Chain A
Amino acid sequence: MALDQSFVGRTYPPTDPYEVGREKIREFAEAIGDTNPAYTDADAAKALGHSEVIAPPTFVFAITFKAAGQVVEDPQLGLDYSRVVHGDQKFAYTRPVRSGDRLSVTSTIEAIKTMAGNDIIDIRGEVHDEAGEHVVTAFTKLVARAAKEA
């Protein structure tokens, strides 16, 4: 069953702030094997012009994807999450995420399409810091593969 087109343009309430911690950034950098000192050493980050250690570019996905869950799990939308795969991902940064940031995400459904029985949904997540300044926008395309006919 095709998804309800009237959901296009719907914006969900901002998420409660996620506080970015130094040790969480370190853990993430270690998990991807990235030894760039800007992720772990405040002095190295400052030498590059940052006020604190910064997070790797894709770190913020953990926060925006959780926020996208508001959309994905919206019972009124009726997406079958067990069939969902990640199609595309894009980030547009105003500045890097850094330790100490308290980030909240506002998710909007940008597009809903049905192609060959697959439901395709585009979600835009706008990430702002505690001062209300824009940090990054995450564009996430999810594909719910067609259910096999019984």
Chain B
Amino acid sequence: MTAKISYDEVEVGTELPAQSFPVSRATLVRYAGASGDFNPIHWNEKFAKEVGLPDVIAHGMFTMAEAIRVVTDWAGDPGAVAEYGVRFTKPVVVPNDETGALIEVSAKVAAKLDDDDRTVRVDLTAMSAGQKVLGMSRAVVRLA
């Protein structure tokens, strides 16, 4: 496993390049097929509203998959991720238009965990429509 970022060059507080990820109804249908999660709250507006949601919402696992891209793009090697966890705090509501929704992800190095293991903890923030959609979103990454 070869991350492109060196442990020695990273400091606590280092910000990773932020990214925004668009999500449309078509994105959700594609993700449903790829992941095998066909829960209708992710593609059927009528059903979503009947169970009390404002509209179709993105799969939490889709949001989780997008957020970690900020870390894997930065580290270079996706295999450098040793741990990754999130709490699903708010749904990403996806309107039925061409724009859809936007998931905005920022991240910073919160701690250097182990000089021998060369691991850091990265804290992530994921927002959509001005609301925090992931809480306690953290990854442990093994750097070069």
Contacts and interface: CB of A to CB of B under 8 A. Distances in A.
Given A57-B72, A89-B60, A36 B78 contact: yes
A30 B83 contact: no
A91 B68 CA distance: 12
A87 B83 contact: no
Contacts, number: 105
B31 A65 contact: no
A28 interface: yes
Contacts of A91: 83-85
Interface in A30-67: 30-34, 36, 38-39, 47-50, 54, 56-58, 61-62, 65-66
B87 to A, nearest CB: 5
Interface residues on A, range: 35 or more
B78 A96 contact: yes
Given A31-B33, A48-B1, A58-B61, A36 B79 contact: no
Contact of B34 (A27, A36, A50, A57): A27
A63 to B, nearest CB: 9
A95 interface: yes
B84 A65 contact: no
Given A86-B61, A96-B78, A33 B85 contact: no
Nearest to B32: A31
Interface string A81-94: 00001111111110
B30 A90 contact: no
Interface residues of B, number: 34
Given A48-B79, A87-B87, A96-B78, A30 B30 contact: yes
20 contacts: A24-B34, A33-B66, A39-B78, A48-B1, A48-B2, A49-B79, A56-B68, A56-B78, A62-B37, A65-B37, A85-B88, A86-B61, A89-B61, A89-B64, A89-B85, A90-B85, A92-B83, A93-B79, A93-B83, A95-B79
Given A31-B31, A87-B88, 14 more contacts: A28-B35, A30-B34, A33-B66, A36-B69, A48-B2, A48-B77, A50-B79, A58-B68, A62-B37, A85-B88, A88-B85, A88-B136, A89-B88, A93-B79
Across the A-B interface, give the 3 residue pairs with the lowest CB-CB distance, nearest first.
Answer: A90-B85, A31-B34, A96-B79
Interface of B: 1-2, 21, 27, 30-31, 33-37, 60-62, 64-66, 68-69, 72-73, 76-79, 81-88, 136
